[in-house]
Amino acid sequence: MASPIKQKILIVDDDENICDIIKLYMEKEGFEVHVSNDGLRAIEMFKEVAPDFVVLDIMLPGVSGSQVCREIRKVSRTPIIMLSAKCEIFDKVLGLELGADDYMVKPFDPRELIARVKAILRRSISGENDTTEEVVYPNLCVNKTDYTVKVDGEDVQMPPKELELLFYLAANPNKVFTRDQLLESIWGYDFFGDSRTVDVHVKRLREKVEKSEHTWSIKTVWGIGYKFEVK
């Protein structure tokens, strides 16, 4: 009987000790692990290896982790967890805005990292098995099968989680959701982030898709959460 195909993890960090520790834990869990210690090589390895998941440090020599994330998001929806020794909210927001699926601050427990990776991979695989899903309104079309958004007939680029949030809200017009409900529905019940994640994504969505003449908008329901309001 043929051995099962291992899921591939790309670890990108200039700290070799951290890479060794993550690699050891990941391999024990049955993953095939590839390592890069600089951003430029990471971009090349992503194309060569086609990993199922990327663990990406923000602070890298030469090409930064933020730029690596941008380059990956130009061509792929592969899940990304960003790592950083910084704990300021700015860095967390930046990582999420660039399209990262999650964010961890160093130092961290490798077992927690593995738990997050497995949780995100489960949701990614589940999403791949969905049938065609599309919501259409005047001046808006959101397709969660091929991950495209059109506003006024023009393609709008956005990270996967922004698109999924827009789709979820638009598929439930005029229904109010709390931030916790949106976190559970879009990021999953085992997401380790906080409610500010939703606020960041809504802010970015409004900047990208809303215009005053549209008959729909993402409304804030003060003290509760958000809704996709159709006038």
Domains in the chain with CATH codes: 8-128 (3.40.50.2300), 134-230 (1.10.10.10)
pLDDT tens string 44-61: 999 999 999 999 998 888
What is the model's pLDDT at position 3? 52
Question: Distance (Å, rounded) from C-alpha 59 to C-alpha 61?
Answer: 7
pLDDT at 2 over 50: no
What is the value of pTM for the model shown?
0.61
pLDDT exceeds cutoff 90 at 75: no
In angstroms, rounded to a whole number, what is the distance separating the alpha carbons of residues 122 and 125? 5
% the chain with pLDDT above 90: 44
Per-residue pLDDT band at 189 (split at 50, 70, 90): low
Cα-Cα-Cα-Cα torsion 98, 19, 9, 147, nearest 10 degrees, comes to: 0
Alpha-carbon span 22 to 33, nearest angstrom = 9
Mean pLDDT across the chain = 85
pLDDT in tens, 77-110: 888 998 887 665 556 666 677 778 888 888 889 9
Structure tokens at 135: 């919501």
Instruction: Give the pLDDT band (50/70/90) at residue 133.
Output: confident
